[in-house]
Amino acid sequence: MSLQARAQAATTEYQKLQIDLQNAVEARQRLDSQLQENDMVKKEFAQLTSNNTVYKLVGPVLVQQDQSDAKSNVDTRLEFIRGEIKRLESQLNEIGAKSEKKKSELVEIQAELQQQSQPRGPALPTSATPSIAA
């Protein structure tokens, strides 16, 4: 494969990695938001007494829900979200490492391309031209 083709392929792979990285960061931000929201709900549940009624929004209707079920659902959701965050963190680290490796490869290829395109200096004459001395 030519150096130019290698450079093009490496650039395409690097751009794909950058898109994957951006998508993973956005997913991580959504999970952070969900984690904060569910933490707030858990804190609200901690303040409830046994006399309080909990409702769940199902479509356009509020349906009464047992407090212990609601608390259990929130705890399960928090556990799931934390697990997803750990998974995404691992994915972010992996993509970041791949991206850095590809970036180094690109820099090397660009250096080789630049070296090839530089002129090699003045050509030396093959035959000696007699000089005229006065």
Q: What integer is the mean pLDDT of 58-69? A: 95
Assigned domain for 19 exists = yes
| Domain that includes residue 91, residue range | 3-117
- Cβ distance 88 to 28 under 8 Å? yes
102 and 10 Cβ atoms separated by less than 8 Å: yes
- Is residue 99 in some structural domain? yes
* 124 lies in some domain: no
Considering the domain boundaries, does residue 109 fall inside one?
yes
As for how many domains the chain has, the answer is 1
Quick one: average pLDDT of 86-93?
Answer: 97
89-108: average pLDDT: 95
pLDDT for residue 2: 87
The answer to the question of residue 132 being in a domain is: no
In a domain, 123, yes or no: no
Question: What CATH code is carried by the domain that includes residue 21?
Answer: 1.10.287.370
Residue 126's pLDDT is: 57
Give the pLDDT confidence score for residue 129 in this predicted structure: 55
Judge whether 38 and 81 are in contact, CB under 8 Å. Answer: yes
Residue 42 lies in a domain: yes
Q: How many residues does the chain have?
A: 134
Q: What is the pLDDT of residue 77?
A: 97
